[in-house]
Structure 1
């Protein structure tokens, strides 16, 4: 198996863990000093979801921020594009904003950088205005 194929497998397993709500398993695929950021969420998304993260403790806060802000009803990765240390994933996700009850349906783009089969950098891209925060 090529290194690129191994990286895709890591990201697939990470998403499976996320789908189960198993943050500890997600973190098992993430380097303890990884960076994690949603470029368009900064200043728009509540809590740690809207802030750059470094390391496991802040990444846990990122997931807590998402969980506090939205009820996820669908999270469907539908395409993975991999080259060298990068895996780019296109995802349809939808749910309801807890504060307003407003439904949302958004295209996410996740850009993962891996080293030694661990995520060292994550960039999430989506339309921050779609949630109505």
Structure 2
């Protein structure tokens, strides 16, 4: 199996773990010093969801802030493009903003960089204005 195929499998396992709400299983595929950022969410998303992260402790806080802010109803990766150490995934996700009870329906682009079957960098791109906070 090629490195690209292995990287795609790792990211698929990350999404499976996320779908179960299993953050420790997600972190099993993430390097201890990984960077994790949603640049369009900075200053717009609550807590660590809207801040750059480095390492497992901050990534756990990212997931905590995300869970406190939204109720995920659908998370559907529908296209994966991979080359060398990069895996790019297009995702439709939807749910409710807990604070307002209002729905959201957003296209996400996740850009993953892997080394030795571990995520070393994650960039999440979405329209931060699409969430009705």
TM-score (normalizing by structure 1): 0.99
The match for 1:128 is 128
The match for 1:93 is 93
Question: Take 2:45 and 2:103, find their aligned partners in 1: how far apart are those partners?
Answer: 16
Unaligned runs of 5+ in 2: none
The match for 2:11 is 11
- Contact kept? 2:114, 2:120, Cα under 8 Å: yes
Structure 1 SS opposite 2:41: coil
Q: Cα distance, 1:26 vs. partner?
A: 0.1
Structure 1 SS opposite 2:87: strand
Q: Cα distance, 1:132 vs. partner?
A: 2.4
The match for 1:28 is 28
Aligned residues: 133
Answering whether residue 5 of structure 2 is matched by residue 2 of structure 1, we say no
Question: Take 1:99 and 1:6, find their aligned partners in 2: how far apart are those partners?
Answer: 39
Unaligned runs of 5+ in 1: none
- Contact kept? 2:30, 2:120, Cα under 8 Å: yes
Question: Take 1:2 and 1:11, find their aligned partners in 2: how far apart are those partners?
Answer: 15
RMSD: 0.4
The match for 1:50 is 50
Summarize deviations over 1:62-97 as a string: whole Å, max 9, x none: 000100000000000000000000000000000000
